[in-house]
């Protein structure tokens, strides 16, 4: 860990706890800052805040009092999920107090280079693939961010010989200032999180920040099949490494004659890849590029691609019961992710879908429902998904209270040889704390069938 003196004796507010806030507060305290933590959860119900209090950190719990911003803070470290419309954040902006997220702290103290992965879909799979490829090649990877340990905790333990592989959301990237990954990836860009960002343009601008501090000796791996991403690439100072699932490239990562190439080097045949789904090809190509650039052996990359079958909650094969194959795709929190999941299967599908209502319709889903023989809905969006199913001509549609009840209903609708797919097309927060909890409930219900 670098010995950073910048924060010594500075008054800093950590707004919102969760794992990243706890780690950031403890780190800043260690660096000599005067830290105040503010969290909406009452102290009596907040073991994280109690732990920080015991370390000598000032804690204000039970709400977000705007008057707290009059305490002379020089920096705010914001939980990524807190929107910029929050009154505390608006007051900080008004007072011209810098606002960062915890990933910026991690970068500032880290001796290890970062490989940063962002995009609308595929971040988790790509991050995991790179980690496994580097691990198999003896390149000392550490995994951080949304699917690993909090970045600032990982960075404290990392050495210059390590590689920190980190999944990054648009929310996190909005709070960077100097963060500069050695290798940056944007897997793809579609419409998402507009309730947070307001417009598609602002969402894309947030994603583009992953490369804004890169220099000529860094690498930016980008989707050559999307003009919006290539426009971002044209503004980057990094060396551009394009990837394409649709056309051969002079350099970069591409598919030709059902083989993956990296800079004209033949890597692996598509027929030898274990991970299902055409949509995963983008993830595989970007991971191959990053792993190769970071020094992974070709043999290690091939081994991972021949054996890796997916990450938990992302088109994860759960079990086969009486000839029905169950897949957990709880991380499909938007329509596009569900479209891609449905395209992965040739067999008839019973789709389990529903969740938080963000105000959108599901008309875009209709063309992808062609191979679906039945739908089981739940959550706030149940009616909207049912309407889409009826427009697609699906005759068997059942509504249940939750995912746990959806599994036996789907089983009863299905026949041997069918796929039963949880791919909700919605966030989980109307019924479940996280998509992981929702996926775990699905897995538990599948195992009950046996």
Ligand-binding site membership of 10 (annotated): no
Query: Each residue of 421-448: b (16+ CB within 10 Å) or e?
Result: bbbbbbbbbebbeebeebbbbbbebbee
Residue-wise pLDDT tens digits, 55-81 = 999 999 999 999 999 999 999 999 998
* CA separation, residue 358 to residues 36, 379, 429, 434 (Å): 33, 12, 11, 16
Alpha-helical runs (H) found in 224-297? 227-234, 280-293
Ligand-binding site membership of 119 (annotated): yes
Token duo for residue 379:
């959550």
Ligand-binding site membership of 122 (annotated): yes
Q: Cα separation of 218 and 214, whole Å? A: 6
**Which range has the worst mean pLDDT, 82-91, 152-161, 194-203, 410-419?**
194-203
Q: Cα separation of 169 and 9, whole Å? A: 30
| φ, ψ of residue 351 in degrees (nearest 5) | -95, 130
Q: What is the pLDDT of residue 385?
A: 98
What pTM does this model have?
0.81
What integer is the mean pLDDT of 1-23? Answer: 94
Token duo for residue 346:
């040739």
pLDDT of residue 198 exceeding 90, the answer is: no
Q: Cα separation of 6 and 360, whole Å? A: 45
Using alpha carbons, select from 134, 120, 205 the residue that is nearest to residue 168: 120
User: Cα–chain-centroid distance for residue 148?
Assistant: 11
| φ, ψ of residue 153 in degrees (nearest 5) | -75, -45
Using alpha carbons, select from 339, 266, 79, 292 the residue that is nearest to residue 185: 292
**Which range has the worst mean pLDDT, 140-154, 282-296, 364-378?**
140-154
Q: What is the pLDDT of residue 311?
A: 83
Are 133 and 143 within 8 A, CB to CB? no
Q: Cα separation of 179 and 116, whole Å? A: 10
Which 3-state string (H, E, C) describes 302-364? HHHHHHCCCCCCCCEEEEEECCEEEEECCCCCCHHHHHHHHCCCCCCEEEEECCCCCCCCCHH
Q: What is the pLDDT of residue 248?
A: 96
Element (H, E) at 208: helix 200-208
> Which residues are 220's β-sheet partners?
184, 240
User: Cα–chain-centroid distance for residue 183?
Assistant: 17
Average pLDDT of the chain is: 95
Query: What are the start-end ranges of the E strands in 5-81?
Result: 11-15, 34-39, 58-61, 75-78
Residue-wise pLDDT tens digits, 237-273 = 999 999 999 999 999 999 999 999 999 999 999 999 9
Residue-wise pLDDT tens digits, 96-115 = 999 999 999 999 999 999 99
pLDDT of residue 380 exceeding 90, the answer is: yes
Q: What is the pLDDT of residue 260?
A: 98
Ligand-binding site membership of 124 (annotated): yes
Q: What is the pLDDT of residue 233?
A: 98
pLDDT of residue 197 exceeding 80, the answer is: no
Using alpha carbons, select from 110, 15, 93, 119 the residue that is nearest to residue 61: 15
Residue 194 binned pLDDT confidence (cut-offs 50, 70, 90):
low
What integer is the mean pLDDT of 399-412? Answer: 98
Domains and their CATH numbers in the chain = 11-100 (3.40.50.720), 103-307 (3.40.1190.10), 316-449 (3.90.190.20)
Ligand-binding site membership of 123 (annotated): yes
């Amino acid at each position: 860990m670098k010995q950073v003196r910048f924060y010594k004796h500075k008054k800093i507010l950590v707004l919102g706890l969760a794992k990243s806030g706890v780690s950031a507060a403890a780190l800043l305290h260690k660096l000599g800052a005067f830290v105040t933590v503010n969290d909406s959860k009452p102290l009596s119900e907040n073991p994280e805040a109690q732990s920080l209090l015991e370390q000598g950190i000032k804690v204000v719990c039970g709400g977000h009092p705007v008057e707290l911003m009059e305490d002379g803070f020089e920096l705010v470290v914001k939980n990524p999920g807190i929107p910029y419309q929050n009154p505390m954040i608006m007051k900080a902006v008004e007072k011209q107090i810098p606002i960062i997220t915890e990933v910026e702290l991690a970068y500032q103290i880290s001796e290890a280079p970062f490989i940063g992965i962002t995009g609308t879909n595929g971040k988790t799979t790509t991050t995991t693939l790179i980690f496994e490829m580097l691990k198999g090649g003896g390149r000392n990877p550490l995994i951080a961010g949304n699917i690993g340990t909090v970045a600032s905790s990982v960075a404290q333990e990392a050495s210059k010989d390590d590689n920190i592989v980190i999944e990054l959301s648009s929310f996190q990237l909005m709070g960077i200032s100097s963060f500069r990954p050695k290798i940056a990836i944007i897997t793809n860009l579609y419409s998402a999180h507009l309730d947070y960002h307001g417009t598609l343009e602002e969402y894309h601008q947030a994603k583009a920040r992953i490369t804004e501090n890169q220099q000529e000796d860094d690498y930016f791996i980008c989707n050559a099949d999307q003009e919006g991403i290539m426009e971002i690439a044209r503004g980057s100072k990094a060396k551009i490494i394009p990837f394409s699932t649709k056309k051969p490239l002079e350099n970069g990562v591409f598919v030709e004659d059902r083989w993956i190439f990296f800079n004209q080097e033949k890597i692996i045949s598509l027929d030898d890849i274990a991970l299902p789904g055409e949509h995963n090809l983008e993830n595989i190509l970007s991971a191959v590029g990053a792993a190769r650039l970071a020094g992974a052996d070709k043999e290690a990359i091939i081994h991972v691609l021949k054996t890796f079958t997916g990450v938990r909650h992302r088109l994860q094969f759960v079990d086969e019961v009486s000839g029905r194959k169950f897949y957990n795709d709880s991380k499909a929190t938007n329509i596009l992710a569900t479209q891609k999941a449905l395209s992965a299967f040739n067999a008839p599908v019973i789709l389990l879908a529903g969740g938080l209502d963000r105000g959108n319709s599901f008309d875009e889903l209709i063309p992808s429902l062609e191979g679906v023989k039945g739908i089981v809905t739940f959550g706030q969006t149940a009616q909207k998904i049912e309407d889409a199913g009826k427009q697609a001509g699906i005759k068997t549609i059942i509504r249940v209270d939750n995912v746990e009840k959806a599994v036996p209903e789907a089983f009863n609708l299905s026949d041997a040889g069918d796929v039963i797919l949880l791919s909700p097309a919605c966030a989980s927060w109307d019924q479940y704390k996280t998509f992981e909890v929702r996926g775990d409930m699905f897995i538990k219900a599948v195992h009950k069938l046996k």
